[in-house]
Amino acid sequence: MNTTAIRQKLCEYIDVADEEKVKAIYSIIKNDLNETDDWWNDQDFITTLDRISNDLKNGTDKGYLWAEIKNELLKKPNRSIRNG
């Protein structure tokens, strides 16, 4: 069954499932929902972003331009992916 079909089945099931089963499903996914939807409410994350931003602004962290990163990556030889 492909992902689209699974999503459809889950939607159909949730529409008719009893309250207990809906709550059980929600309890399984609620942490994922919070992580992806509420990052701006995560004070530790915001503090880290503020610190990084301030370090870049005041010169503590030099940072890199996209052109610098791209040039460095283009200098590296292509490597094949090895199995095992």
Whether residues 26 and 53 fall in one domain: no
Whether residues 25 and 50 fall in one domain: no
The values of phi and psi at residue 61, to 5°, are -115, 120
Residue 82: predicted pLDDT: 53
The DSSP-derived string for 10-54 is: HHHHHHHS-HHHHHHHHHHHHHHHHHHH-GGG-HHHHHHHHHHHH
* Cut 0.85: pTM above it: no
Segments forming the whole domain that contains residue 55: 38-77
Is residue 84, in this structure, part of any structural domain at all?
no
Is residue 67, in this structure, part of any structural domain at all?
yes
- Model confidence band, residue 10 (pLDDT cutoffs 50, 70, 90): very high
Q: Which helix (H) or strand (E) holds 63?
A: none
Whether residues 20 and 6 fall in one domain: yes
Whether residues 22 and 53 fall in one domain: no
Q: Which helix (H) or strand (E) holds 68?
A: helix 66-75
Whether residues 18 and 43 fall in one domain: no
| 30-79 tens-digit pLDDT | 877 766 667 788 899 999 999 999 999 999 999 999 999 998 888 887 75
